[in-house]
Amino acid sequence: MARDPRLYLVDIGQAAKLVEEFVHGKTLDEFRTDAMLRSAVERQFEIIGEAINQLSRVAPELAARIPDARRIVDFRNVLAHGYATVDGRVVWHATQTSLPQLQATVADMLRPAAVDIKALMNEGRD
């Protein structure tokens, strides 16, 4: 059974929420010097990018509604494959500027259908 495309939106929302929690109350300097924090944030951005990538394959009309979807997937690819060149300032900037917009977009995309996220997630485990 194919995965419901809305589950990718749920994945994006959950990963974005985790990033928000991880960086809450932190500064750029704290972010740049805390390897565990950076790793955690970068991993969630990888999940976000991969979820958008998968969404674009199974439901391109949904992925097209995400601003800068291609750029987010490209960012994921840099994190995963260009790890030696990742600039912490760029990652931090994404947490402060791009992430809030992405969270709002995903929430809006899930809201109209009155998606029961828990039920949807349980279906996705079948």
Query: In the chain, what are the helix, strand and coil shares in percent, each to the nearest 5?
Result: 80, 0, 20
Structure confidence at residue 126 as a pLDDT band (50, 70, 90): low
Report CA dihedral (120, 99, 89, 21) to the nearest 10 degrees: -60
71-82 tens-digit pLDDT: 999 999 999 999
Q: What is the mean pLDDT of residues 109-124?
A: 67
Domains of the chain: 6-124 (1.20.120)
